[in-house]
Amino acid sequence: MPSNSRTKLDVALADVDAQIKHAVSFAGGTRGAPAAVAGVARPGRPFTRAATVLLAAAFEGYVESLVTETATHLALSAEQVRDLKTLVGRSHGSNIHHIHGLFATVGMPFVLDEIRWRGLPRGAVRTFVKDLSSRRNKIAHGTAPENARLADVQRWRKLVERLSNELDKKAADRVFSATNARPW
């Protein structure tokens, strides 16, 4: 059973999937797709850019929610929960340092470095989070490259889903080790 945070992430991922489908329908989604459709240059580009920003925001929201949810299961004091919520409120972006800082507050320091699965090279989680965060920032701040590659967005979307599943397991294990009860 997933955490409530993971369940909420699925709703956001459905929006990302819709943006990806729109990008594919407007531009074919493949190399060699038309450069313009009905006079509009790169018609799939707004959808891949939107999907990237939505995906990064969804992942950031998931991380913040999971840390808060984990904290509630660890029976932190009301003061500690307030401090955590303040820290979450100051966290902007889904970069590695913010994620590690947030998870450290619930006893899971450097959690991204612990996540691996078959076929994922060492350090790939850090690279993925860095790439997604960087691309989101470039889009949001107007410095993104002209082409927003659909293949990148599709790969990142799969990685967010897999990474969130792994983070859910790690958080559940952390709660279990502290309370001897499974939170989800």
Q: What is the CA radius of gyration of the chain?
A: 18
The residue with greater pLDDT, 23 or 38, is 23
pLDDT at 14 over 80: yes
35 domain-assigned: yes
3-state secondary structure of 37: strand
- Can you tell me the mean pLDDT for 115-139? 91
Share of the chain above pLDDT 70, in %: 88
Please report the pLDDT score of residue 75 as a whole number: 85
Q: Is residue 145 part of a domain?
A: yes
Q: Flag whether pLDDT at 58 surpasses 90.
A: yes
Asked whether the predicted pLDDT for residue 32 surpasses 60, the reply is no
pLDDT at 19 exceeding the cut of 80: yes
Question: Is the pLDDT reported for residue 41 higher than 80?
Answer: no
Q: Is residue 60 part of a domain?
A: yes
- Please compute the mean of the pLDDT values over residues 49-60 and round it to a whole number: 94
Measured at the CA of 62, the angle between CA 57 and CA 67, to 5 degrees, comes to 130
Q: What one-letter code names the amino acid at 3? A: S
Q: How confident is the model at residue 31 (pLDDT cuts 50, 70, 90)?
A: low
pLDDT score of 34: 58
pLDDT tens readout for residues 164-175: 999 999 999 999
**pLDDT tens-digit profile of 143-162?**
766 556 888 999 999 999 99
Could you tell me the pTM of the whole model?
0.90
> Is-contact 123 89, C-beta < 8 A?
no
**Residue 40 gets which letter from DSSP?**
E
Tally of structural domains, the chain: 1
Query: Does residue 33 lie in a domain region?
Result: yes
Q: Within a domain: residue 184?
A: no
Question: Tell me, what's the pLDDT at 25?
Answer: 81
Gap between the Cα atoms of 178 and 175, Å rounded: 5
The parent domain of residue 9 ranges over 4-179
Q: Which residue has the higher pLDDT, 22 or 60?
A: 60
- Residue recorded with tokens 């993925």: 128
